[in-house]
Structure 1
Amino acid sequence: MLQILELTRDNIICTKADGNLTELDMEKIHPLIHNILKTGKKVRWYFEMENFTGWSIEGLWADAKMDLSHAKDYEKIAMVGEKKWQDWITQFMKPFTNAEIRYFDRNEKESARQWIGQ
């Protein structure tokens, strides 16, 4: 499940992923991205993972399509996680976007929020 956090504002999208993400979860984000792009700004995404297990096949495909179609529209992505494979995902994403991407451990949540807002 993907939850939109109250910290979402201006050109910052804040989400929390729990469990397995589906295509419907990814569809929640697309309108937020388009609303930010209409203002002429680039997207900053705070992506927190708690008990995150990955994506369904449809969710992974929807995420990949969205990320590829908006690769130039992201400015910063903060990935906050609790497992080594989540750091690996962050490294894997880097060649596919112009965004600055950083991984933060869960105990660095506040640092990640500050970084995404700078």
Structure 2
Amino acid sequence: MASSSSSSSRSRYSASRVPGAPVRSLIKGYRQVPVNWEPYDPCECRPPKKAAMWISWSDENPGRRYRSCYYSRRGGCKYFVWHDDPIDDPFLKQLVLDLRDQVWLLERLNSNLHDA
């Protein structure tokens, strides 16, 4: 299990994401609230809070889980730690990316049908 702090890899969404489309998870309940997983991993806030688990859907790290402070999205603390190792197999990485893109396409089509 690799753990490295890196704010440069924090992108959670691909450039292929449709601008203006709502940002949603590919999987319902993708964010594990702090009380639902162990071990306790406090962020750098004062007082320290348990960092939530998230899933990256970026091109560089598709499907990779990480822990980050909830307030980091609002400019709060910079706590960030990878939970999983990256996908090493190029075939599997591309498969996850293709599935992600198909989900986004279907969500966009569904949204367009609801609007019509």
TM above 0.5: no
Tell me the TM-score normalized by structure 1: 0.25
Q: Which has the higher helix share?
A: 1
User: Higher relative contact order at CA 8 Å, sep ≥6: structure 1 or structure 2?
Assistant: 2
Structure whose alpha-carbon radius of gyration is higher: 2
Taking structure 2 as the reference length, the TM-score comes to 0.25
